[in-house]
Chains A and B, each alone.
Chain A
Amino acid sequence: MFPGVQALDQASLYVAPGEIHGLVGENGAGKSTIIKVLAGVYARDSGTVTINGTAYDTLTPASVHAAGVRFIHQELHLVPHFTVAESVFMGQEISGVFGIDRKTMNARASAFLSETLHVDIAPNTLIRDLGIAERKLVQIARALIDNKARIVVFDEPTAPLAMAEIEQLFAAIRRLKERGIAIIYVSHYLGEITQLCDRVTVFRNGKDVAVEDNIDDASSDSIIRHMVGRALDALYPTKHHAVEAPILKLSGLTSEGQFSGIDLTVGKGEIVGLGGLIGSGREELTDTIYGLKQPTSGSIELGGRELTISTPSTAVAAGIVLVPRDRRHDGLVLDLSVGDNINLASLEEIADLWLENRRSAARRSDALSEKLDIRPRNSSAITRFLSGGNQQKVVLARWLATGSKVFILDEPTVGVDIGAKVEIYQLIEDLAAQGAGIIISSSDPAELLGLCDRVAVLMRGRMIADRPTDTLDIDSLIALTTGFEATGDAA
């Protein structure tokens, strides 16, 4: 399932009854993998799994469930038009002589919600009429209603919740702990980890590198140190671009429920990083600048002129382009050739009257393909068969062809190998040196520090920091994005 990659390497995790055990690590550190092994989704090559004293040779989703392990997935997975009681008892409905016994189901669902989770939700309310926090509690109730849970795994449960709702969730989790249930809590929000957990296991590169006991606020520094565990390597180009006058200026940009009051300036030739966890509003912000979503208030200025960007085509015409995270779906027509993909956005310029001028099109794409070192160096190669890094270069080549002024790159190096990473970083640096304004939205703190002039950090829809990268180190940046250091603009 991970060709040629050892996703877990002699990793261990011990969790005791009645304890809330945090599981932390950067993306790709092996947290999700070990959870999926425990869930019976991935098979392990070696090692043992012991639940409540019984060793399990092979784990299947059914045997794990029978052993009392429950998973609260990040996604809610509820049927919108089912009632609360129907959702709680899904797959384990109570049947009487006259069929489904709704009365008993309602009573038991309602009792469980109020006694264990301390929340009063009418059991015949439709899921679609509930808020996100209440849905989360219904999801938890569904996992626990049979009273056979011994281990409950929470995967990033607070991502969609507001602050007050998080407190409600934590209270519920603590009550589960009091009942002697073992809890594994996976999260990127280190602030929540230290607030909630009794012990923490840190993963890095597929291994458990540290177990922290006696968690308190002071544990954060050592957790981060274990998470990072490496020096910034020489992946990044030397910064030699000069930052000039502002080209893109966001003032008070707000999108109801997503992000609010964002002020951000990007100069000509400047690379600005956008940090923040998934769900922090980062993606919504870049989508809004690109016209995929509409802001509810605030303004976007490009080169001193205020713009209303209603669609991506308005953005592109003005000179703002977005290189999406999921380039396979959003950025490329995979079954077209490299040349066709490069020319996709500049068809008007290369068309004679209505017909595409094949020769000038080929000349342009060949030149760009050479400049960006796209391999194979063959504009008629089908894009699908290129490596991830080369596909990313094709997307960049397309926008270079249009002469855009502002580039927004969303996770530009996700899923590309180290060699291609270095080339993409160099390419971004070159773009900046040519005077483009660049926003890099990334969840990799090392990438933000290594590449950018400034980093703006979003947290739950608000911009909590906008600092030059030379005032930051990787520890302080992680502390910022994960909510250890909740306030304080400019160091």
Chain B
Amino acid sequence: MVGYLPLAIFVVLLVYLSFTAPNYFSFQSLDLILRQAIPTVVVCLGLSVVVMAGGNDVVSGGIDLSIPATAVMSAAIIADQVTNHGTPIAIAFALALIAALIVGAVNALLVVRIGMTPLLATLSVSVAVVGIVKVITSSRRINVDHPVVVWLRDGSIAGVSVGVILTTILFLIFFFVVHRTRWGMNLQAVGGSRDAAEISGIPTGRFLSQSFVVAAFAGGLASMFVLARGSGSTPGTEENLLLEMVLATFLGAAFSPRRVVTLWGAVLGAVLVTALSIGFKSIGVNVFWTGCIKGALILVVVASASLSLRASARGHAA
């Protein structure tokens, strides 16, 4: 029963918000929530892959804290190239993706070859990447009004935002690769039990490395949505993105029946966290309290998931 508590809490809150917040369950506000959630959703896809390959344990398992910084770095590269140097946006985007992949390779090297804990390795890399952003942008905002970015922000097809459609496609690709291919199954096996994977002849180090590269690639893709949401590159965007990414991904694990990080769980988590933020804003909760309430909610949800997992573990021991 405890297992359904996380979902129940969120349903209750959303119902409450829909009665108190004006037009909360309208198409417009749903569209707004989804559009706001896009950058978080995309980095969450990346983090999910790393957690699946490295295991669910936040300290010793798989984690990549550098994805948001990578996204913001890629966004800064595109903004700088397009606005300050007049580079065509496709080339700027390609440069940004290459830079992101390099970050992923560095993470893989530090964790798999040198043997650092993912938490420390990716935290250090994140700090370094944020430093690179400052070098590129001199800590200043760079506006981007390129038509592609404007289209990503405002465009819609058959009434649905372009960003939402693209993100849905991206999610489906990730979902297929992780859940429907041998690569994905082996990746999950490595994260589920490294010994089991090794005995089954799966090269575990290779999968761990690849997970960091995929995550950085997701960060690189997220850069375009970061640019679109902010109409340019804004220093400091990575902080909130990092927080929401980690919370949404592990919140997603609390929703999943197997109690593990899943792609759809992470996406759902990202959308719900954004929905709550927007809902609180529209019923006029003090901005300074929103953080407290969000944090407390997430604690309750994750704690109840841990409790139900422990209860089921005890049930089997007896």
Contact = CB atoms under 8 A, between A and B. Distances in A.
Interface of A: 61-62, 65, 71, 73, 75, 77-82, 86-87, 90-93, 95, 98-100, 126, 128-129, 131, 142, 256-257
B186 A91 contact: yes
A100 B196 contact: no
Contacts of A86: 185, 189
A142 B188 CA distance: 17
Contact of B193 (A79, A126, A129): A79
B146 interface: no
A91 B317 contact: no
A90 B318 contact: no
B180 A90 contact: no
Contact of B182 (A79, A93, A126, A131): A93
27 contacts: A61-B201, A71-B199, A77-B199, A78-B196, A79-B188, A79-B196, A81-B192, A81-B258, A81-B260, A82-B188, A82-B189, A82-B192, A90-B189, A90-B197, A91-B189, A92-B200, A95-B181, A99-B176, A99-B179, A99-B180, A99-B181, A100-B181, A100-B182, A128-B316, A129-B316, A142-B200, A256-B318
A131 B315 CA distance: 11
Nearest to A76: B196
B156 interface: no
Interface residues of B, number: 27
Among the interface residues B192, B195, B199, which one has the most CB atoms of the partner chain A within 10 A?
A: B199
Interface string B193-219: 101110111100000000000000000
Contacts of B260: 81
Among the interface residues A81, A98, A142, A257, which one has the most CB atoms of the partner chain B within 10 A?
A: A81
Contacts of A93: 182, 185-186
Interface in B171-185: 176, 179-182, 184-185
A257 B317 CA distance: 8
B180 A98 contact: yes
B186 to A, nearest CB: 7
Interface string B289-318: 000000000000000000000001100111
Contacts of B134: none
B141 interface: no
Contacts of A91: 186, 189, 197, 200-202
Contacts of B192: 79-82
B266 to A, nearest CB: 16
Contacts of A73: 199
Contacts of A129: 316
Contact of B180 (A78, A100, A126): A100
Contacts of A142: 200
B196 A126 contact: no
A265 B169 CA distance: 70
B182 to A, nearest CB: 5
A77 B199 CA distance: 8
Given A62-B201, A257-B318, A90 B181 contact: no
Nearest to A71: B199
A96 to B, nearest CB: 9
A128 B315 CA distance: 11
